[in-house]
Structure 1
């Protein structure tokens, strides 16, 4: 009965995603021949059809990825795959700290082996077909090797710390684990911009003095300080453009993709950055971090209760006594099951995120020109082949940003 419920949950989550994807495909194809009136002067029929074809291709490919993920979940949770891996690890490596590392590594490797072919095809088939990919196969595998090395470097001490807390700190281990989790995330905010990201991309100070002066004046008007303004060689991997703020405290910096700097005017870049500054000044970033940490505390508290329940382990074919000897077992099982529940609530954070986007747009309109932000949005959607006509229900569930039409209409009011 327990495994039947888990199987139903896996299939239901998969069918939800398939239903949403099919809605998106039908809606985009139904509107591919007609450019929305607000964009007719800026987006050609050819660009609009390309965006529709790109969106549909990604959705259909995403459905295949979702199917592979559902099959993997069924094999691990319902088909006894996790129990088999757990038994093999405990028998050959033991139930100590090394066994915990081996169990985590085995699950991570299996997940990566399923994901890797999809990442490869996404890059060298879909992205390449639509003219966005600039990554070589050599660079793809170099990035992969770096990512694996970084995962080992950072996840090994994190796993060992979590395992130690669960073994040694009694029934309140989950609170200690939450503290470790918070500390790790804060550390990541500090070191990722300055040590990790430069391993993958080149960051150079922006040399355009006029643009620098404009951005520095904007930051002064907004009361914002950053460690530096950098140009990133995003074109090495993709022709998609972007701009973002990253870091925390002394590592805070503004980053512009070189592709973005090539396509937008200085006025438009200023408006885009004013939008990003709006997220900081309106405390959206802080609120999200606090909400993220608060939710993680609740999840770990629930896990602290579930950790003591025999039925949770027995339902997946694992001896509770053996699971107590290797306490990380319960955490891994829980985080394999958790997405089956959380997927039904993803519309909530996306709704909040879309509200924040409107607020940041409003902030940008007060500190730059709304017209420049609107034209930048049009260019970014056109050049990135983002559909201008998403399905409303699909968008409500899956999109963290409002559609370009919604944002531009709001800026015009």
Structure 2
């Protein structure tokens, strides 16, 4: 086994160990505080609700540990044993060329999906159902999987053909053009997704006239925000979790509320949640996020350029030098290394959340936002006592106790 193969295998194993270690710390922290509600929430969260949230967190963490170990083992098995027979099978039926490379990736992706599908089924129909969140039927779940797979084929296959065509046509500059094309597609998808893709999975109904809509329109005018409409999404047909978001650019921006959110919150709380989302818009967080993604994508493409140019990466795993195998090896290896960037990306994300909270406070006051955060935490069974090191690597949003403390400050 070559040195580069050893480094990649070691990275996969160490990343798995780190994830499991953090999960065990999280479980220990939640378990240690299960018997008492944090003092700041004595008046708003009952001991029964607190313990139920702890049990939900512990159940999810246990599943995550198992899934992490399984994924790490599966990544090693793919690199050491499975990629070669899959590639040989494709090569026996498709001549060398772009189609062979694309078909190899499609087949590997399909097999990987089937190997990890049991976790999705268990999480949806056992874990989420056990705590009263799941509302998805087996038929709906299956249809969602078919739609998602079809979308991946429709969108992914042309992109793969384009990538490999660029690689052959411009061996030295392909990665710059591929990166630029990905950025254009990413921005385009922000506009296309809410109008054409999201409706394939959920129904979006314009918000009915009434005090709620009037209050929202007043807040939008106060913030100088123009949208393409207010919509209510039928999230309740799949889950009891609540949320809200806005999407799109320019006049294509739309604001979406989960029906589960509207069912459980007061008008003032809904306005505070919206004000928070508008804060992201006011501070340019969407553009910042795109910028972060662009930098990370450029690094990935630079690594791919090196891997394709070197021509020796597949040989490190005793594999043929096919572009599809180079791509699969790099994408498998990048996951463990990118996990080390999680504290940085989460820091940037949490800073944005604090800024959005501060904006909501300036627009509607702190009390509605604090009440909304408390309800969301309670209704979604989010733990109030996470482990600090765990949150560093796994929380893109600040823990709710920290957010409330900032709002009260």
Give the TM-score category using the shorter length.
over 0.9
C-alpha distance in structure 1 between counterparts of 2:223 and 2:145, whole Å: 39
C-alpha distance in structure 2 between counterparts of 1:6 and 1:286, whole Å: 33
Within the candidate set 25, 35, 40, 2:42 is matched to 40
> Which contiguous aligned blocks of 4+ residues in structure 1 show a shift greater than 4 angstroms?
none
Where does residue 380 of structure 1 map in the other structure? Answer: 376
Within the candidate set 3, 11, 28, 1:9 is matched to 11
C-alpha distance in structure 1 between counterparts of 2:137 and 2:65, whole Å: 26
- CA offset at residue 160 of structure 1? 1.1
C-alpha distance in structure 2 between counterparts of 1:94 and 1:179, whole Å: 30
C-alpha distance in structure 2 between counterparts of 1:406 and 1:18, whole Å: 25
Where does residue 281 of structure 1 map in the other structure? Answer: 282
C-alpha distance in structure 2 between counterparts of 1:208 and 1:130, whole Å: 34
- Tell me if structure 1 keeps the 8 A contact 2:226–2:251: no
Deviations 1:211-265 (A, max 9, x none): 1111111111111111010001000000110001112234311000011001110
C-alpha distance in structure 2 between counterparts of 1:185 and 1:107, whole Å: 24
C-alpha distance in structure 2 between counterparts of 1:293 and 1:19, whole Å: 31
Within the candidate set 393, 400, 403, 1:397 is matched to 393
Where does residue 132 of structure 1 map in the other structure? Answer: 133
- In the alignment, does 2:356 pair up with 1:360? yes
Q: How many residues align?
A: 407
C-alpha distance in structure 2 between counterparts of 1:348 and 1:412, whole Å: 26
TM-score, normalization by structure 1: 0.96
Give the gaps of 5 or more residues in structure 2.
Answer: none
Deviations 1:366-403 (A, max 9, x none): 11121100000000000000001101110111100111
Deviations 1:167-210 (A, max 9, x none): 11231010111122112212211111011111111100111421
Q: Summarize the alignment of residues 170-189 of structure 1 with structure 2, pairs less than 5 Å apart.
A: 170-189=171-190
- Tell me if structure 1 keeps the 8 A contact 2:275–2:364: yes
Give the gaps of 5 or more residues in structure 1.
Answer: none
C-alpha distance in structure 2 between counterparts of 1:155 and 1:224, whole Å: 34
Give the SS at the match of 2:219.
Answer: helix
- CA offset at residue 275 of structure 1? 0.5
Give the SS at the match of 1:255.
Answer: strand
Where does residue 98 of structure 1 map in the other structure? Answer: 99
Where does residue 257 of structure 2 map in the other structure? Answer: 256
Where does residue 333 of structure 1 map in the other structure? Answer: 329
- Tell me if structure 2 keeps the 8 A contact 1:241–1:260: yes
Deviations 1:276-316 (A, max 9, x none): 11011001111110121122112212321221113322102
How well do the aligned residues superpose, as a CA RMSD in angstroms?
Answer: 1.3
Deviations 1:111-150 (A, max 9, x none): 2112211000000000000011111111100111111111
Where does residue 225 of structure 1 map in the other structure? Answer: 226
Q: Summarize the alignment of residues 70-149 of structure 1 with structure 2, pairs less than 5 Å apart.
A: 70-77=72-79, 79-149=80-150
Where does residue 340 of structure 2 map in the other structure? Answer: 344
- Tell me if structure 2 keeps the 8 A contact 1:68–1:114: no
- In the alignment, does 2:52 pair up with 1:50? yes
- Tell me if structure 2 keeps the 8 A contact 1:34–1:45: yes
- Tell me if structure 2 keeps the 8 A contact 1:274–1:363: yes
**Structure 1's 6 and 299: CA in aligned 2 closer, same or farther, altered over 3 A?**
closer
- Tell me if structure 2 keeps the 8 A contact 1:190–1:249: no
C-alpha distance in structure 2 between counterparts of 1:281 and 1:374, whole Å: 21
Where does residue 69 of structure 2 map in the other structure? Answer: 67
Deviations 1:298-341 (A, max 9, x none): 22123212211133221021233xx2xxx343222211111121
- Tell me if structure 1 keeps the 8 A contact 2:191–2:247: no
Most deviating of 232-241 and 291-300: 291-300
Give the SS at the match of 2:173.
Answer: helix
Give the SS at the match of 1:254.
Answer: strand
**Structure 1's 51 and 282: CA in aligned 2 closer, same or farther, altered over 3 A?**
same
C-alpha distance in structure 1 between counterparts of 2:112 and 2:81, whole Å: 16
- In the alignment, does 2:151 pair up with 1:150? yes
